[in-house]
A = this chain, B = another copy of it.
C-alpha cells in the first residue's frame, strides 16, 4: 500500500513531462503520441494512480451525485427499485444520495432542497402520499435540475417518468376475477389524487364495464391500503347484508387485512370471496390461501429511471418531449382468486 498520494504531477515528474501531457495521455487524447500514451498508462498503473474525481469534477463544473427521494427505503418495491438504480448509476460513475420522506410533503421539499444545495446532477423521485402539487418539482426543473419521476408521479407535470402500467394491470386482474365467475367485485383504492391509484381504479372500471357489470360508488373504497384499514373495512363489510364476492385491492397489505379478517370470520376464500392484491409483496405467497397479485418489476423500473436521468444529465440541451416509460405488471395467479380451478 503506497501511502503517498499519486497525482498526475507525480507521474509527470517521474517521466519528465508535464501534467497536461499526462492528463491528455490518460484520457486518450490523439495529440499525444502512441508511445507516450502507453508509457504514461503503464507508469500510472505501476504507481497506483487513482484519479481524483473531485478535482476533475470541479474543473469540469460537474458532479457525480444523483439524488433519490422516496417515501420509504424499507418497502419491498422501493428497496428493489434502488437496487436497480445502483446497478446503472455506479458503473456510470454516479453516487446515490437517498432521502426518505416518510410520506411527508414537507420532508420531500426539504430533501429536494438539500439535493440542490449539494449540487446533485439530477434527482429520481417518487412522490409522497401527502404531496398534492408539483410546485417544488417544477421549481427544481425550472432551475435546471434534471428530474425523473417513477411510480408515483404527478400528472400535468412535463417531466420524464417511469411507471407501471397500472391501468393495464388492474384491468387484467379484474378481468381475471370476472373470468373466475365473480360478479360483485369491489375495489379497495388508495388516495385518488395519486396517479397510481387512479389508474388502478380506471382499469378496474373498464374491465367491469366490458363485462356489463355495474360499478356503483359504494363498490369503491377510498384510502384502503394498509393492513389495518383492510381489516377494519372487511369487518364493516361483514356487518352488511350482502358481502361482495370478490375484492380487487390496490394494495397487498389491505388485501392481507381483508383476507385474514374474512378467514377468521369463517368465510371461505376463494369460494365465497375472491381476493386480488397489488405489488407481489413477499408475504403474498405465504398467506393462506396464497394471494393473487401483480408483480411490478421494481428493479427494471429503477434501472430505467436511472438510465433516463443519466441521459438527461449528459445532454441537457436536448429539450425534447419528456420520455414516458411504462411497464406492464404481471398477474401472478394464486389460490385466493381461483374459484374455477379444481385443487
Contact among B54, B63, B73 with A83 in the assembled complex (CB-CB below 8 Å): B73
Q: Nearest residue in B to A144 (C-beta to C-beta)?
A: B3
**Docked complex Cα distance between A98 and B97 (Å):** 10
What 10 pairs across the A-B complex have the smallest Cβ distances?
A: A1-B143, A79-B79, A95-B97, A283-B283, A54-B58, A74-B79, A73-B83, A54-B54, A50-B117, A74-B80
A1–B72 Cα distance when bound, in Å, is 29
Please state if A286 and B256 are interface contacts (CB–CB under 8 Å).
Answer: yes
The answer to whether A90 and B80 touch across the interface, beta carbons within 8 angstroms, is no
Contact across chains for A98 and B100 when beta carbons are under 8 A apart: no
Q: Which residues of B contact A99 (CB under 8 A)?
A: 86, 90
State which size class the interface on A falls in. 35 or more
Q: How many copies of this chain?
A: 2
Q: Which of B54, B90, B119, B282 contacts A63 (CB 8 A)?
A: B54
Interface residues of A in 89-125 (CB under 8 A from B): 90, 95-100, 114, 116-119
Q: What does the 1/0 interface line of A211-222 toward B look like (CB < 8 Å)? A: 000000000000
Q: How far is the CA of A92 from the CA of B50 in the complex (A)?
A: 26
Instruction: Write out the residue numbers on chain B whose beta carbons fall within 8 Å of the beta carbon of A283.
Output: 282-283, 286
A82 at the interface (CB under 8 A from B): yes
Say whether A1 contacts B95, CB under 8 Å: no
